[in-house]
Amino acid sequence: MAHAQTNRALMAGYKAYVAAFFIFLAAPLIAAGSFAFNDSLFPALPWQGFTLDWFFNDTEPKLGMFHDRRLLSGLYYSFVIAAMVAALSVAVGTTNAFLFVRREFPFKTFFYIVMIVPLVIPGVILGISILVLASNVANAVYDRFGVEISLLRPGIFLVVLGQFSFITTITSLVITARLKKFDLSLEEAAFNLGASRARVLWTITLPYLRPAMIASAIVAFLVSFENFNTTLFLVGSESPLTITMYDRMAKVGSTPVLNAVSFVLMVGSGLLALVSVAVQRPDPSGQ
């Protein structure tokens, strides 16, 4: 009995630890989100009462986020960048999945490892190395031909490339994992029933990959949206939201409008995350 009791005590301690961990996880997010509703000029205690001014008020000093030009434009650029990165990286991730699951070629294992490497390169280094190369190319072209390629100067295009360079690893891994589970006899069956190759791809294989493609697009979108390290070096005048917020925090100091933005972002990412979980839910037929 004593043994069972110590076991029970151990288990209770273990559970308390797990609970404490989740409080640790939630605390900063709750802090960041809840001060958005505090009717005060500073995101700090004491609680001054509930307000939605930090979202909707249109006058200083409590300018709400939906009336703050710079924040809104940051949000817009973040959307544009994230959408482009998601589309590109899912497209390349899909071709990579077919390449590594369906094809045999020399040095395949080596190339597979090469595919993973961008994920473990620090984002700062991806940012500066792409910046250096793009600037070198742009300078060389300018010196020789007198043509300025503005695409290769810091700006949205470089930000997209920089984020794409490591996010593609994530999408490739997710889509590859799904394609590996594909039962090839489904394609053969479709073939046997008279479908052409293109039709098999369009009606059987791609629908099968769709959940993984949607989920990885969402992940790509979110990772792009929240990326800071790589973006920092490649950003031009069109700052995405994380950069705008960082500038605001560093230069102006924090006001609850940043909490409002945080709240909106958390709700938005939470919803997207739920969607991605829902589409990836294993279909009962899978078993």
161-190 residues near another protein, rule: CB under 8 A:
161-162, 164-165, 168, 173-174, 176-177, 183, 185-186, 188-190
Residue 159 makes contact with another protein by CB under 8 A: no
Which two structure tokens, joined as six digits, stand for 13? 């301690």
Would you state the structure tokens that stand for residue 247, as one six-digit string?
């500038």
Q: What binding mask, one character per residue, do residues 216-255 give for another protein by CB under 8 A, x or -? A: ------x--xx-xx--xx--------x--xx--x----x-
User: Does 142 interact with another protein (rule: CB under 8 A)?
Assistant: no
Rounded-to-integer distance, Cα 272 and Cα 216, Å = 11
148: how many CB neighbours lie within 10 A of its CB?
Answer: 12
Reduced 3-state DSSP string for 190-246: HHHCCCCHHHHHHHHHHHHHHHHHHHHHHHHHHHHHHCCHHHHHHCCCCCCHHHHHH
44 lines the binding site for another protein (CB under 8 A): yes
Q: Is 4 in the site for another protein (CB under 8 A)?
A: no
Shortest Å, Cβ 10 to another protein: 9
Q: What is the DSSP string of 145-171?
A: H----GGGSSSHHHHHHHHHHHHHHHH
Tell me how far, at minimum, the Cβ of 237 lies from another protein, in Å. 15
Rule CB under 8 A: which of 122-141 touch another protein?
A: 122-126, 128-133, 136
CB of 193 to another protein, least distance (A): 4
| CB 59 to another protein: min, Å | 24
Residue whose structure tokens are 């000093």? 61
| 85 near another protein, rule: CB under 8 A | no
